[in-house]
Structure 1
Amino acid sequence: MLKLLYLLPVIMCAIWYWYLKQHGWGIKQGWKGFGYILGFNFAIAISLWTIMLLTQR
């Protein structure tokens, strides 16, 4: 399961890109959304990494 977590940001960015195209917006207009998606997934990754480190002992 943990090995497949790299797909989460890819899928979320693809959905966001699709949403932008459906509303006639460009990538420059939705750039902040991509940043939020990547930041959110980075926070999840750091949290899971910390949990793994804490529970190994």
Structure 2
Amino acid sequence: MIKLLFLLPVVMCAVWYWYLQQNGWNIKQGRKGFGYIIGFNLTIAICLWIIMLLTQH
């Protein structure tokens, strides 16, 4: 399951891009949304990394 976690930001960005296209907006207008997606996924990745370090023997 952890091996597939890299797909989360890819799928989220693809859905956001689709949403922008459906509403007639360009990528420049949706740049803030991409930033939020990347920031959210980085936060998850850092939390999982810290948990992994704490539980390692």
**Once superposed, which parts of structure 1, at least 4 consecutive aligned residues long, lie more than 4 Å away?**
none
Equivalent in the alignment of 2:22: 22
RMSD of aligned residue pairs (Cα, Å): 0.5
TM-score, length-scaled by structure 2: 0.98
Equivalent in the alignment of 2:5: 5
Unmatched 5+ stretches in structure 2: none
Equivalent in the alignment of 1:42: 42
1:31 CA displacement: 0.2
TM-score, length-scaled by structure 1: 0.98
Equivalent in the alignment of 2:54: 54
